[in-house]
Amino acid sequence: MKFSVMISEGPYTHQASDTAYHFTKAALEDGHECFRIFFYHDGVNNGTRLASPPQDDRNIVNRWSELAKEYKLDLVLCIAAAQRRGIADADEAKRNGKNADNIAPGFRISGLGQLIEAGIQSDRLVTFGD
């Protein structure tokens, strides 16, 4: 079955990022397909490579990047939410006159249409948030 996931909570806030990760990983390990993971609102904070959690804590950002690499996942950050929260790729940084970008490997920035498409193309869309 084809799944998509929407995450609207930042990492290390409550538990939505963790639940979403474990849900996605279980789905993939059980042979399901993941069409897209869409990060909305504070969820875009899952996609900054500047996060440096303590070594004895889970690294939520790297965990997504590694899962994306292993399963070729499409991790999409909402552009409007990302702009507000200072998450940028090279193009966005340039367009907004910033001197650096911070998007983590495996993530890309795009629009809300990607969430709508995920809802249409997937058999199931599951939301994790606060």
Partner 1 sequence: MSQLHTVNKSPLERNTLESAIAHAIKGNALLMIEDGVYGAMQGTHKSAIVSNAMSDISFYVMGPDLKARGIDEKRIIDGIKIVDYSDFVALVAEHDVTQSWL
Closest to partner 1 by CB, 28 vs 93, is 28
Positive or negative, the CA dihedral 54, 55, 59, 62 is: positive
Decide: helix, strand or coil at residue 36: strand
Q: Is 130 in the site for partner 1 (CB under 8 A)?
A: yes
The candidate with the shortest Cα–Cα distance to 20, out of 101, 75, 90, is 75
Q: Is 90 in the site for partner 1 (CB under 8 A)?
A: no
Q: Which of 14, 84, 94, 108 binds partner 1 (CB under 8 A)?
A: 14
The catalytically annotated residue of 34, 37, 78, 103 is 78
CB atoms within 10 A of CB 55: 6
Q: Which of 4, 16, 48, 92 binds partner 1 (CB under 8 A)?
A: 16
Q: Is 57 in the site for partner 1 (CB under 8 A)?
A: no
78 belongs to the catalytic site? yes
Closest to partner 1 by CB, 20 vs 77, is 20
The candidate with the shortest Cα–Cα distance to 48, out of 108, 110, 107, 104, is 104
Q: Is 116 in the site for partner 1 (CB under 8 A)?
A: no
Burial zone of 40 (CB within 10 Å; 0-12 exposed, 13-18 middle, 19+ buried): buried
CA–CA separation, 95 and 90 (whole Å): 9
Q: Is 49 in the site for partner 1 (CB under 8 A)?
A: no
Q: Which residues bind partner 1 (CB under 8 A)?
A: 1, 3, 8, 14-16, 19, 22-23, 25-27, 29-30, 32, 123-130
Residues labelled catalytic: 78
